[in-house]
Amino acid sequence: MIRLSFTCAVLALLAGHLDALQMREECVTPNSSRGTCIEVKDCTPLLDLLKAKPLSQAQLEYLRKLQCGFNDRKPLVCCSQQDPELKPPDAEVVEDVSSHRNLPLLRNDICGQFSDDRLIGRLTVYLNEMPWMALIAYSESKGNESTFRCGGTIINDFYILTAAHCFDYLKNGIRPIDCEEEEFMDMKSCAPEPEDIPIAQMVVHPQYTGKSGLQNDIALIRLTSQINFSSDSVRPVCLPIGLSVQEQNLVGKWLTVAGWGVTEKYTSSRVLLKGNVPVKSNAECEQLYKNQLQISNTSQLCTGGVRDTCNRDSGGPLTYYGPMEGSLRVIQHGIVSFGPQTCGNTELPAVYTRVGYYMKWILDNISS
């Protein structure tokens, strides 16, 4: 619908000109590129530009100048394959990080390890099954008791990966209190007491668009002290490294999401919960959200069709299994970003920030 309306707008603009060239005559664009006078529907570069994104006023004015004649009352345009003005904006590009200078800061030697008997099909979270899970707590006003608001994942000795929208409250001057690096299990068989580590620094993606768009919904937390990996109850998750993993086609696969979020009973869980969710194509996701938000083909993932994430699962991980350092490990592919307001809604997909797309940003912003 949107693309059609832009095409109609362009035709309406062109209809006001009365230049005299005939169909398929040679022409010159305003940028001095040689072209051919043809109908809009036959000009592939122009059609690609219309499909790429809404046009600016300057672009619409340029299209007006491309008009070169009429063919049976249909406006013709001077179409050139070399005209830079007709090239759509650069597509999102995933950057390979397999040689990044900060790659050694990730603990690929111990990340994402699991036992084979806990691999697939079980929704019970075993003790130490997800030792990379973290909870982020803050108070809504000075002096109030802090409560856990978002999830996150341990990615190395000092850093937690989470969603940028978890820190929207900073605009109101609310201060985060601490971050919990251990998972809660049933009270009969517990990991060591969770360790609360204060936050030293928060790095929110500079192009995060806020809740109005939720693009680039990713953030890093640096802790004030180093995480102790001497116990099996605390370990980092693996991150996607190398283009084959960063760009892995996950559509149709069932990935695992975990968190302490609001359950279908509208209460926060006291124990860590997980669920398996199918990845949907971004085209299907874009269609379902077309009247609400823009969905990126490269920097976001969508899952849905079954019971999915809920409030306070924000910032938590979407994981899948893959090779790392010669063994099968748990790799984080997504960060819980947003979804339907009603928990368990199967009509709208849940949307995740795609970690593989942001690997360079992550590595650029961590330090020893």
Catalytic residues: 165, 217, 314
Instruction: Count the alpha carbons within 13 Å of 113 in the hemisphere toward its beta carbon.
Output: 14
R_g over Cα of the chain = 25
Q: Which amino acid is residue 246, in one-letter code?
A: Q
Alpha helices, H only, 136-270: 243-246
CB 203 within 8 A of CB 162: no
Helix (H) or strand (E) holding 11: helix 2-14
Which residues, including other chains, have CB under 8 Å from residue 176's CB and lie 6 or more apart? 136, 137, 138, 167, 199, 202
Instruction: Please provide the DSSP assignment of 268-330 as one string.
Output: B-SS-EEEEEEEEPHHHHHHHTTTT----TTTEEEE-SSS---TT-TT-EEEEEEEETTEEEE
